[in-house]
Amino acid sequence: MSRPTRITSVTVKDIRFPTSLQKDGSDAMHKSPDYSAAYVTLTTDSDITAYGTTFANGKGTNIVCCAVEVFEKMLVGKQLSDIFDDFGNFWQSLVSEDQIRWLGPEKGVIHLATAAIVNALWDLWAKMENKPLWKLLVDMEPEKLVSTIDFRYMADTLTKEEALEILKKMQDGKKAREEELLAKGFPAYTTSCGWLGYSDEKIKKLATEAMAAGWTRFKMKVGADVKDDVRRAKIFRETLEEDMLLMVDANQKWEVQEAIDWMKQMADYKILWIEEPTNPDDVMGHAAIAEALVPLGIGVATGEMCQNRVMFKQFLKAKAMQYCQIDACRLGGVNEVLAVILLAAKYNVPVCPHAGGVALCELVQHLSMFDFVCVSGTMENRMIEFADHLHEHMLSPVVLKGGRYMAPKDPGYVVGIKEKALADFVYPEGAEWQRMFKEGLFQQE
């Protein structure tokens, strides 16, 4: 296999799966999601092809795809040495193009598109080195890793020198932690039992099956009706064993005081955290909720809709999150995720990534594993979300044993989606979509 030297093409596909038919992924704000992805393919002047994704929820995925295409001329013909030798500055050039940045800057659809491209570049780099992404990151010298990060707007909170110090401090014991990771995997929690649209019987059945498979950490969706949420939490607690963890997720449903009052009514059910209790940009609102819930022993988790490192900086400085939920696609790809992981380490806030959408589980496992080996040095109070949907379509699906993510071995990051899935679910021309249109299950946009 020859080593690539430049990018020869950038293409993107709108891939959508009809998860709304079974209410998979349903919550208080997103009642009928169709899990989707803008799926980027990078070809090179070798036989190595790389892939990148950004997660979406159905309608509008085509808009993200259009945004990806805006970047094509910045990538095609680009020498890979110009990218990977100074990745931090290249990332900055993507988010700082003087006309494109007006659509953000560093937020919204244009940042989702940036993530898909950047994730594809990391997939390419890992494949070039014949390593899974987590291993590529773990094996990097601290100076090289820090060079991939854009530290703009962070100097008042985390400098390049401080980041380097964190990484160098954790060099001791790296080998032992990597061996522990390979032997035991990384802790996970499941959301697959607690979607808002599921019946009581389905919740009990799925939770019982999950416990039998070794799961000890569970999350349920809340926010539609407080009495119903209390009843469902009671079902979970009666089904789960005494020492098992239960988290709840409101998906931005409430006003600040409403969130506090709602959680007080659920406190008897030993809730570890309330996730996204209010608007995802409301730093002070989250801080007020967090302060009010301290006596109840309930933390605030947020971050899946947190659009950039600057927002995370504010949440962390304001003590507005007790659990930092990075998203591999909402942020601008791996480079920006690394910045947030280091920020969280400075504030001693555990990173518990958001996952569950198209390829999100496959992506974030690498990030938590790097965090454990090189940054935090612990798995205590840390876990990766898992939802058991759509993994059968991945070329390198996640492997879980006893409620833990096992370290991936295949080279790459996204690795790729199977050709059959692409043919069936590319929107709107995919074979499965054409069938569902004809049967009246969906109307074409």
Which residues carry out catalysis?
221, 354
Q: In angstroms, rounded to a whole number, what is the distance separating the alpha carbons of residues 330 and 336? A: 10
Q: How many residues does the chain have?
A: 445
Residue linked to tokens 């990597």: 178
Taking alpha carbons only, the member of 75, 96, 91 closest to residue 10 is: 75
Taking alpha carbons only, the member of 341, 256, 355 closest to residue 304 is: 355
Residue 85: both structure tokens together:
């030798």
Question: In 86-214, at which residue ranges do the beta strands (DSSP E only) sit?
Answer: 186-190
Q: In angstroms, rounded to a whole number, what is the distance separating the alpha carbons of residues 398 and 392? A: 10
Spell out the residues 6+ positions from residue 442 whose beta carbon is closer than 8 angstroms to its own.
Answer: 18, 433, 436
Residue type present at position 11: T
Residue 431: both structure tokens together:
């074979």
Q: What is the DSSP letter of 239?
A: H
Contact by Cβ (8 Å): 436, 442: yes
Contact by Cβ (8 Å): 147, 88: yes
Q: In angstroms, rounded to a whole number, what is the distance separating the alpha carbons of residues 223 and 249? A: 8
Taking alpha carbons only, the member of 369, 370, 363 closest to residue 386 is: 363
Question: In 164-226, at which residue ranges do the beta strands (DSSP E only) sit?
Answer: 186-190, 217-221
